[in-house]
Structure 1
Amino acid sequence: MTPQFLKNLPLRVKLILPTWLLMTVFVIGGGLATTHIVSQNLEEGLAYRADILASGAASNLTAAIAFEDIASAKEQLTALSYDPDLVHAKVLRDSGSEFVSFSRLPKDCAPHPAGFICNQTALERVVKPIQMGSEKLGTLELYFTKTRVADEKQRLTGFLVMATVALSLFALFFARLIHGFVSQPLSSLHRSMSNMIRLGIMSNTLPVTRYDELGQLTECFNDMVTSLYERDKQLTATLSQLEEKSIYINHVLDTIDHGILVIAPGDVVTYFNPAAEIELKSMGCDPTNLDHILSNFLPATTLLEVSSAIDEHRPIHAVEIRHRVSGKVYRVRSTPMASAQHSLVQFEDITTLQTAEQRRKLAELIFDQSKDATLVLSRSLSVEAQNRACLKTFGAVEHWNQMFSSDLGRLPYTEFKTLLRKGVYTWHSHLFCISGTILPCRIDARTVTNRNGKVEAFVISIFDQTTRLELKRLNHMAHHDPLTQLANRTHAMATLAQEHAIGQDMHVLFVDLDGFKNVNDLYGHNVGDELLKVIAKRLKGCVSSGDLVARLAGDEFLLGIRGSEQIEHIMQRLMKKLNEVIMVEGVRPRVSASIGVRYWASHDETPLKTVIDQADKAMYEAKAMGKNRYAYASEGANTVLL
């Protein structure tokens, strides 16, 4: 009777385990028998070889022991030592005393009255009598080790183990192969049946690869699956109408981003999603009452259109209504549903979007109507947008670098890094106009960043500087001498009066050139004009940048030197510099200067015109003393002539 646990084992185990065990036991039994037979043959061979060696040696030792020739006996034993298994040999006289011996016993062997005792090494003892005729002369004892036999036995055992493992694996593979032929089709049938129970009936059938009993069973199973699948399709089609309403509800639940209402005939609200409930209740509306909801919105014409679309079960696309109280704007859509004449109404708060759109349009209007040229650049400096003023002045431009008249006007890399770091930067440059002229401009650049702080674009504002530069030029002309570019009389008088008003001490110098009229008469007014330019440069080079140098008229100049300190060193430098040789247009006109000096202290209330007249008078005193010198006015300081 078969035990129950064997009956419960899987078919795979029932097929594989017996085959594998039978082949493994057969291999182990055969290997053990082979090892035993080989070991027995080796031991018998050793005993036979030892007996032959002992008989030969005993015959050869007869003469040596008869004549007490120990040397000859040792030679005989030495010859026996060539046998690797011989570990000890000795020749005994008939009296029992030792005649000669040879020994190479292992370390684990020790002498014993009966021979030798070894811990691990097994020895084979062979004893042969030494006779001359019928007379016994002595005895030969030989001891052979069985180590080589034991090693060979161990090697055969190792081969047996490896062969057993290899053949056992082969047996396992062979058993699995047999299992594949028998139980694999049954396992496929079992998996398919389990899937049908767990997942439902599917149309997948099993491939028929054989035509034995298992193949016929597979064909029957496929026929059953096909029949069940057809019946399941019919049942699914029958239940689809009952599940259609549930599908619509799931569809509504999936679209929960905006407020959703499902309206049945008669304006009955059959469903509203959580977003619709929150939004409508916040406005004081009842989500279940469509008439109450519509009464809270404007305009009436749009609400009538929505109501008619719902009643007539037709679609309506994106109309806008406004809440009476909050002013919020909503976009409404209505979509007819396929069954039961229901309508799906969606509404979305677009107040923020509408405000953003209005702001965008306003920004575009401001950008386009700005009187200053404005353009937007991408990160690669390509022009993305231009306002009307920019298009009118510069025309359509594709890249920022096309607008510059030279490479010097472009923003250098270091300044560009400053723009990226600070977000704003201003510089001046000349830009090409659509008319072909070059326009002096001030350029304001600002960065546009995203939420992560990364620069996405640049806004460039361009301001025409032509008028400002022209005003600056006119102002310069109004306050400067056109020939020497020094301050003129008007500018000089205003500057000196302003400096004195704020408490500045100064020396007022009135300079008149000696011999300038002769230069004009001898060389012409062109040489005279060039000479005045050189004199103007030399006067500016003799004083500091904060001091005043002006041309009053003709060859008369006015200097204002700040401070109350002595100016002797400045006067000496002026006299020396003005006396140096001047080369103008190939000639060397000779001139000198007479200078009148008037010290004007901050507390001195003398009018400026009077101060200048006093310096002028001192200049004439210097001329009267021989020219080419300077003199101090008596007012403000003692007169000194050099």
Structure 2
Amino acid sequence: MIVRWLNNLPLRIKLVLPTWFLMTAGVVLLGFAIENVAEDKMEQSLIGRTKILTNAAAVNLTAALAFDDKQTALEQLEALRVDPDLIGAKVRTTNDANFASVMELPPDCRSNGNAIICSDTQFERVKKPIVLGEEILGFIEVYVSRAAIEEERHFLVGYLTAGTSLLSLLALVFAQLLHRLVSHPLASLHQSMSSMLRLGVFGRAIPVKHNDELGQLTACFNDLVSNLSERDYQLKQTLNQLENKSQYIGEVLDTMEHGVMVIAPGDVVTYFNPAAEYLLRQVNCSPRNLPQLLQTFSPASRVHAISHAIDNHQPMKGIELRHTLTGKVFQISTQPMLAAQHSLVQFEDVTEQREAEQRRKLAELIFDKSQDATLVMSRDLTIKTQNAACIDAFGVHYSWRTLSTDSESYLSFAELKTLLTDGTMEWHRTLVGHGGIEMPCQVVARTLTNHRGSVEGFVITIVDLSTEMEIQRLNYIANHDALTGLANRAHALEKLTQDHDKERDMHILFIDLDGFKSVNDQFGHQVGDELLKVVAERMKASVSRRDFVSRLSGDEFLIALYGNAPVDAIANRLLEKLSDEIVINNCKPKVSASIGVRYWSSNDPSSLAQVIEQADKAMYDAKANGKNRYSLAANLAVQMEEV
């Protein structure tokens, strides 16, 4: 309401009042500033002068206080009366006793103990200690009146008031002059415009009454009027060009691949291009009947929204409708036209695009949900995208060079040639996973080719083999002796039983070391452990790679020699190798072996436990016969005799 009232004020008031008010306010503020500065200066001068007198008196009063000479102290205080603003001075001892004082109190002031109280008069108090060496003898207090300052301030306020009134009057005169300089040319321009409205544009030129900026503006209007005739001719030429352009636009619409229709109020189709007729004929629809056309599409809510937008002359973009009979998908947009409330409807067949997009989303879903780390690279090894499994395993990378810092992870020229030729390549490398953890991986690379068959990139699938290798490691630990690396008892029993079930003939050698306990007692268990490792290596070196060597427990070993060939040569070689000199940490432990041999043919119904037991008994026979020898089990001896 106030803003509207201010906007409706005459220009004279808008110019005069703000100008006068701002100038007057500026003068008043300047006067206040001058008055405050002057008062501060006079106050500082008064206090400074008083401090000088007080300091001088404090120095002169040292002797008086030191010798308790009150008369001398009083004379020193009397000397302070030369200051016309002095109203009192006191000398007090350190115990706050009055030593000497002089008073010239105004009528409204009185002394109250050690203080002075005034009802109207304002004063300043300056206090200074009286010091002899480092000892404080007492204090001097000087009271000075601010009456002179107040009197000077009153005079200054009077002068400032008079000056402000005069300057305010001058500001009002200046505002009136400013209003006259601005409003009179505007009034002249208003009169000229009114004349133009009354007499018409082509009646006569607007008279120029002032040769200023507004007069120049009026002259410009006169030039405009003189040029209207020429502009009218140019306008006709432009209309002809627009007509030609309209014909050109019609030709462009006719050649567009998108369907275009113009809908008039009442759902009347006033125009459709050939593309619209072609697209609608494919779904057995006519472009001339819009209501019937819309009934063949779904969903009904979107059809209703498009119909509502056309009827209400509203824009709508990117609405997709599906033809209920053919299943084709059309993307429809409506745009209001300024002329006659018409609407422009554009549509295109996006069936193939949506099917391609659906296939792409499905491929992206498969790509992202894959349990294996998968990434897509360009030819320069720049990583374009990674699936979630790849990011979880290796983090976000932008180049294969940062993902695989090991030079062995790069393909050689021959391998790269094979990849480009065959389209696929597989290799095993150790990659650095998330957090710097090294991961054994299987890397499978496939090429991405364009429609011309040129390789544009690669799809890399990385399979983490850590779990598989960990299972292999645990399986190895579960089936092998931790000290010697040989198969343990459980693995030996399982494997030999399976081999016998596969109808394989074999000789079972039960081996026990002679003198191993003495080695442990003489050299310690560390040397004994190293001895077992050497024995295991010599056993493996004494048999073929297809034979099986295992450690049952302690210094007992089990060897399976596959086939039915005689084992004498191998047994003697074992005895010779195991009895050879062994040096461990400058120690020379001496051991030999006693071997029990049991032949286990493929058709032998005996269990492995029975076979081992019989081989064990044969081993004890070898020990009983002097050690460092082998002995055949009873059934094997019988078989050999039969042979």
TM-score, normalised to structure 1, is 0.58
Q: Does structure 2 conserve the Cα–Cα contact (< 8 Å) formed by 1:294 and 1:303? A: yes
Q: Which runs of structure 2 are paired with 1:442-591 in the superposition (5 Å)?
A: 442-591=442-591
Aligned counterparts of 2:519 and 2:424: Cα–Cα separation in 1:
57
Q: How has the CA–CA distance of structure 1 residues 269 and 622 changed in structure 2, closer, same or farther, with 3 Å as cutoff?
A: same
Cα distance in structure 2, aligned partners of 1:512 and 1:309: 99
Q: 1:334 to 1:559 in 2, by over 3 A?
A: same
CA distance in 1, matches of 2:266, 2:242: 24
Relative to structure 1, the CA distance from residue 246 to residue 578 in structure 2 (aligned partners, 3 Å threshold; closer, same or farther) is same
* Paired position in structure 2 for 1:224: none
Deviation at 1:248, TM superposition (A): 4.1
Q: Which residue type is aligned with residue 332 of structure 2?
A: V
In the other structure, the counterpart of 1:267 is 267
Output the amino acid matched with 2:599: Y
Which amino acid in structure 2 is aligned with residue 269 of structure 1? V
Q: More deviation in 240-249 or 353-362?
A: 240-249
Structure 2 counterpart of 1:402: 402
Name the CA distance, whole Å, in 2 between partners of 1:243 and 1:617.
Answer: 118
The structural deviation recorded for 1:484 is 0.5
Deviation at 1:627, TM superposition (A): 1.5
Q: C-alpha deviations, 1:113-166, integer Å up to 9, x for none?
A: xxxxxxxxxxxxxxxxxxxxxxxxxxxxxxxxxxxxxxxxxxxxxxxxxxxxxx
The match for 1:425 is 425
Distance across 1 between alignment mates of 2:248 and 2:477: 89
* Counterpart amino acid of residue 447 in structure 1: T
Q: Kindly indicate whether the alpha-carbon contact (under 8 Å) linking 2:279 and 2:349 is maintained by their aligned counterparts in 1.
A: no
Shift of 1:306: 3.4
CA distance in 2, matches of 1:523, 1:314: 101
Residues 632 and 640 of structure 1 are in contact (CA less than 8 Å); yes or no, is this contact kept in structure 2? no
Structure 2 residue 441 is matched with structure 1 residue 438: no
Matches within 5 A, 1:4-23: none
> Is 238-247 or 393-402 further displaced after alignment?
238-247
How big is the shift at 1:400? 1.5
User: Is the contact between residue 410 and residue 429 of structure 1 (CA under 8 Å) also seen in structure 2?
Assistant: no
8 Å CA contact 1:595, 1:629 repeated in 2: yes
Would you say the 8 A contact 1:632–1:639 is kept in 2?
Answer: no
Alpha-carbon offset, residue 410 of structure 1: 4.2
Corresponding pairs, count: 409
Deviation of 1:570 after TM superposition, in Å, equals: 1.9
| Alpha-carbon shift at residue 408 of structure 1 (Å) | 3.3
Conservation of the 8 A alpha-carbon contact between 1:276 and 1:287? yes
Partner of 2:380: 380
Number of the residue aligned with 2:391: 391
CA distance in 2, matches of 1:252, 1:311: 23
Aligned sequence identity (%):
50
2:273 & 2:292 partners in 1: Cα distance?
A: 18
How far apart are 1:536 and its partner, in Å? 0.5
Provide closer, same or farther for how the CA distance between residues 237 and 434 of structure 1 changes in structure 2, counting only shifts above 3 A. Answer: closer
CA distance in 2: counterparts of 1:244 and 1:394, whole angstroms: 60
Instruction: Look up the equivalent residue of 2:507 and give its one-letter code.
Output: H
Aligned equivalents of 1:637 and 1:288: distance in 2?
109
Task: Give structure 1 stretches of 5+ with no counterpart.
Answer: 1-231
Query: How well do the aligned residues superpose, as a CA RMSD in angstroms?
Result: 3.0
Alignment of 1:41-80 (within 5 A): none
1:474 Cα deviation (Å)?
1.8
**Unmatched 5+ residue regions in structure 2?**
1-232
Q: Distance in 2 between matches of 1:541 and 1:490?
A: 23
**Is the Cα contact below 8 Å between 1:632 and 1:638 reproduced in 2?**
no
Residues 161-193 of structure 1: CA distance to partner in whole angstroms, max 9, x if unpaired? xxxxxxxxxxxxxxxxxxxxxxxxxxxxxxxxx
What SS does the corresponding residue of 2:635 show, helix, strand or coil? Answer: coil
Name the counterpart of 1:625: 625
Please list the CA deviations of residues 279-300 of structure 1 after superposition, one character each: whole Å capped at 9, or x if unmatched.
3233231222122111212344
Cα distance change of structure 1 residues 412 and 520 upon mapping to structure 2, 3 Å threshold: farther
Q: Return closer, same or farther for 1:639/1:332 CA change in 2, 3 Å cut-off.
A: closer
In structure 2, how many angstroms separate the alpha carbons of the residues matched to 1:538 and 1:234?
112
Q: How far apart are the structure 2 equivalents of 1:431 and 1:364?
A: 25
For the residues of structure 1 that align with 2:344 and 2:414, how far apart are their CA atoms? 61
Q: Name the SS of the counterpart of 1:583 in structure 2.
A: coil
Name the aligned partner's letter for residue 387 of structure 1: N
The 2-side partners of 1:304 and 1:538 are apart by 91
Task: Name 1:293's counterpart in structure 2.
Answer: 293
Q: Deviations over 1:196-250 (max 9, x none)?
A: xxxxxxxxxxxxxxxxxxxxxxxxxxxxxxxxxxxx9999778657656643431
Tell me the SS of whatever aligns to 1:499: helix
Where does residue 253 of structure 2 map in the other structure? Answer: 252
Q: Relative to structure 1, is the Cα distance of residues 618 and 409 closer, same or farther in structure 2, using a 3 angstrom cutoff?
A: farther
Partners in 1 of 2:437 and 2:342 — Cα distance?
Answer: 71
User: Structure 1 residues 576 and 405 mapped into 2: Cα distance closer, same or farther (>3 Å)?
Assistant: farther
Report the alpha carbon displacement of residue 537 of structure 1 after superposing the two structures with TM.
0.7
User: Residues of 1 paired with 2:567 and 2:271: CA distance?
Assistant: 102
Q: Secondary structure at the match of 1:326?
A: coil
Q: Distance in 2 between matches of 1:393 and 1:603?
A: 53
Alpha-carbon separation, structure 2, partners of 1:399 and 1:240: 57
1: distance between equivalents of 2:629 and 2:449?
69
Q: CA deviation at 1:508?
A: 0.8
Deviation at 1:328, TM superposition (A): 2.5
The question of whether the paired residues in 2 share the 8 Å contact of 1:631 and 1:639 is answered with no
Structure 1: which amino acid aligns with 2:475?
N
From the CA coordinates, give the structure whose radius of gyration is larger: 1
